[in-house]
Structure 1
């Protein structure tokens, strides 16, 4: 059985050069699928769908007719002996885990192993791994009384539908927890939320493809 790479449309829009480099590496090894939402290709049962976007995973999980085995791309890349890992020479970063991965401990471990291969030192947050409650403007649990009160004024409203200034205020609370000048995330929404909150954030795939200039 083989693998099929499902690229992230949101990551491609945000980081086109990194997406191009990743595709160039993977297309030499496996088929590259179209957008997970509209790809109607019938892949053989038992093949592995490689993804690194949490939304892609959720979409693929909702299509059991595919009978694909899902695996996070960072976990897979961590095993590849020929992958050309860039060297960031001891760069120290905070690592922001994603709330949507709370039931996927293999991703937490794979991400940290990839950071080691990149020669990046990860500084953990208190709310790390399965304890994370953060996924940008998709999921956040404020602790500041003023932000808790703010959300009570918008009951049953998704965070991403709130006015942008309110989203910024909430995301800024998360950014205040970071102790390093740079925070690495491996989720599109997490990365966007860090930037929205005024933090300096980068997606791990930007690092892994050598597209981060420092």
Structure 2
């Protein structure tokens, strides 16, 4: 049986889209609470349907997992919005670099919504950005300052440095909008000055474009 695990962070930042996907999935599977606090006993054969990378890290030791992107890509009844050839950049997530099934599903979903996209990295496996958790900037001055905080996530570095890192990533965008499928990636790009939207907002038709 599939069990949907919503993202608490996404629900806070995009409540309209969160409610819509919850209502859609509730018709075909149970909806769990927070992955960290939900103590419901699950059968060994149950599969957690998730889209937050942090949720996956918590859940994969307890049960099988499948990304929401794979689930929706295989759902023949899902009503895909039509964006009529809208051009966007695509930010792949560093935490999904070892998940080709996610890269494939995300790209398939974008095509089904008639979105023309240009990835910011050659392919998902080469992604080196995850907002204020991880980034690999190219600017020598930024790299030198980051070296002073070696081993720490970006969110523990000075705000001015974090903003400089995010600005460098956002500057890679060549289109008016960039789509991300990670909460941290979207926040980081927005911090850097990019017009970023979450993939689930596009799928639910709630993105303010």
TM range (shorter): over 0.9
Comparing 152-161 with 179-188, greater Cα deviation is found at: 152-161
- Provide the TM-score with structure 1 as the length reference: 0.95
2:73 is the counterpart of 1:78: yes
1:210 alignment partner in structure 2: 205
2:198 is the counterpart of 1:199: no
Matches within 5 A, 1:115-134: 115-134=110-129
Q: Secondary structure of 1:49's match? A: strand
Following the alignment from structure 1 to structure 2, what is the Cα–Cα distance between the partners of residues 212 and 158? 29
2:177 is the counterpart of 1:182: yes
Q: Stretches of 4+ moved more than 3 A in 1? A: none
Following the alignment from structure 1 to structure 2, what is the Cα–Cα distance between the partners of residues 187 and 147? 24
Report if aligned partners of 2:91, 2:178 keep a CA contact under 8 Å in 1.
yes
1:51 alignment partner in structure 2: 50
How many residues align? The count is: 209
Report if aligned partners of 1:94, 1:183 keep a CA contact under 8 Å in 2.
yes
1:151 alignment partner in structure 2: 146
Report if aligned partners of 1:127, 1:133 keep a CA contact under 8 Å in 2.
no
Per-residue deviation, 1:171: 0.6
Q: Secondary structure of 1:82's match? A: coil
Per-residue deviation, 1:44: 0.9
Report if aligned partners of 2:92, 2:121 keep a CA contact under 8 Å in 1.
no
Q: Identify the match of residue 99 of structure 1 among 88, 94, 97.
A: 94
Following the alignment from structure 1 to structure 2, what is the Cα–Cα distance between the partners of residues 126 and 81? 29
Following the alignment from structure 1 to structure 2, what is the Cα–Cα distance between the partners of residues 147 and 33? 41
Cα deviation digits, residues 160-199 of structure 1 (max 9, x gap): 1122222111011111111111000000000000001111
Per-residue deviation, 1:127: 4.2
1:35 alignment partner in structure 2: 34
2:168 is the counterpart of 1:169: no
Report if aligned partners of 2:91, 2:121 keep a CA contact under 8 Å in 1.
no
Cα deviation digits, residues 38-84 of structure 1 (max 9, x gap): 111111111111000000000112xx3x3x21000011101111111
Cα deviation digits, residues 129-158 of structure 1 (max 9, x gap): 100110001010111011011112223322
Q: Secondary structure of 1:160's match? A: helix
Following the alignment from structure 1 to structure 2, what is the Cα–Cα distance between the partners of residues 101 and 201? 18
CA RMSD of aligned residues (A): 1.0
Report if aligned partners of 1:136, 1:190 keep a CA contact under 8 Å in 2.
yes
Structure 1 gaps, min length 5? none
Following the alignment from structure 1 to structure 2, what is the Cα–Cα distance between the partners of residues 3 and 123? 32
